[in-house]
Amino acid sequence: MMKSQELISTAKAMVAGNKGLLAMDESFPTCNKRFAKLGIPQTVETRRAYREMIVTTPGLGESISGAILFDETIRQKTKDNIPMIKVIADAGIIPGIKVDTGAKELAGHPGEKISEGLDGLRDRLLEYYQMGARFAKWRAVIVIGNGIPSRSCILANAHTLARYAASCQEAGLVPIVEPEVLMDGNHTMAQCFKVTEEVLRIVFNQLYLQEVLLEGIILKPNMIVPGLTCPKQEFVDEVADATLKCLLRSVPAAVPGITFLSGGQSAELASDRLNAMNIIFRSKSPWELSFSYGRALQQPALEIWMGKEANVNQAQKALYHRAKCNYAARRGEYNAEMEQIKQTF
């Protein structure tokens, strides 16, 4: 039987108090790629030390309501032998877990991806719930390119997301439903709008078919933005307008919260755009407009940390600062001056 009340209250708590989610669930290849770029060794121990730096940031719970972990991290401990998941929970942050096993090539569809991980999912979800996780994440990837995305790719991913979401709810975990339309490429903002609207409408149709309780999910979409190499880059307010227009057309009001991914935007732009959405639409939006950033929260801290214990304190300050900026953006109170005065603990 579905634990409806628990799911509803967890989902609400994930977007309560103007706080947002911290995505720190990079898989081995993604985490190693980010480390390699900065010359940080790619080992179990460096990944553990990095994640310890993040979760022990003083005051993180002031702006962060939930943290998404990777399987390796949820089983790791700090150097003082405290389970990472306990550190998170003690900081008042809800622990979550990434459960897809990665986006693989979709057979018969060159350039398109399907996220895997449904096999054995029920048992994995039960274990994560017992460990203390209260929500999960599954990321589907949609690529805009020549003749793609195909309807078959969108349908396959939407169906998979819905199956995952239903399984999570059965286990008492709130599913973060993440259909990410990638920013890579030179496509226009209008193309991103069109594809994202189609994807979201199909995702919600599939969620309905699988009888997913919408009050007990969180949607994690991309913003409506031009491709990274598109010559025309719209202003912040135009991105905010297009994003809300697209979401208002395609996301039911029963969903409690929308937590955007950052997707390769700069940390400042991700804060600025979220801020604009909350200034313009906060009073009209049926859902909380929040964040679930990975790179836009972590990247400045990672670049300071560089794998060195001596840099932990400064790196934590940078992470704390980005979390505070996005907390302000949820209230529409973020501004460029915040970037000058770096917060101290």
Query: Of 112 and 178, which has the nearer Cβ to ligand 13P?
Result: 178
Q: Which pair of tokens denotes residue 288?
A: 């909380």
**Is-catalytic flag, 178?**
yes
**Binding test (CB under 6 A) with ligand 13P, winner from 262, 271, 275, 326:** 262
Query: Of 23 and 255, which has the nearer Cβ to ligand 13P?
Result: 23
CA dist., res. 18 & res. 319, Å (int): 17
In the set 220, 288, 317, 324, the catalytic residue is 220
Answer yes or no whether residue 296 interacts with ligand 13P by CB under 6 A: yes
**Binding test (CB under 6 A) with ligand 13P, winner from 19, 47, 139, 159:** 139
Least separation in angstroms between residue 295's CB and ligand 13P is 3
Least separation in angstroms between residue 294's CB and ligand 13P is 3
**Is-catalytic flag, 98?**
no
Residues 6 or more apart whose CB falls under 8 angstroms from that of 138 comprise: 98, 99, 100, 115, 117, 160, 161, 164, 165, 175, 176, 177, 178
CA dist., res. 293 & res. 77, Å (int): 23
CA dist., res. 183 & res. 32, Å (int): 21
Answer yes or no whether residue 250 interacts with ligand 13P by CB under 6 A: no
CA dist., res. 66 & res. 79, Å (int): 22
DSSP annotation string for 165-191: HHHHHHHTPEEEEEEEE---SS--HHH
- Report the sign of the C-alpha dihedral through residues 330, 335, 336, 337, in that order: negative
Number of residues that bind ligand 13P (CB under 6 A): 10
Answer yes or no whether residue 312 interacts with ligand 13P by CB under 6 A: no
Least separation in angstroms between residue 106's CB and ligand 13P is 18
Q: Which residues are catalytic?
A: 178, 220
**Binding positions for ligand 13P, rule: CB under 6 A:** 23, 139, 178, 261-263, 293-296
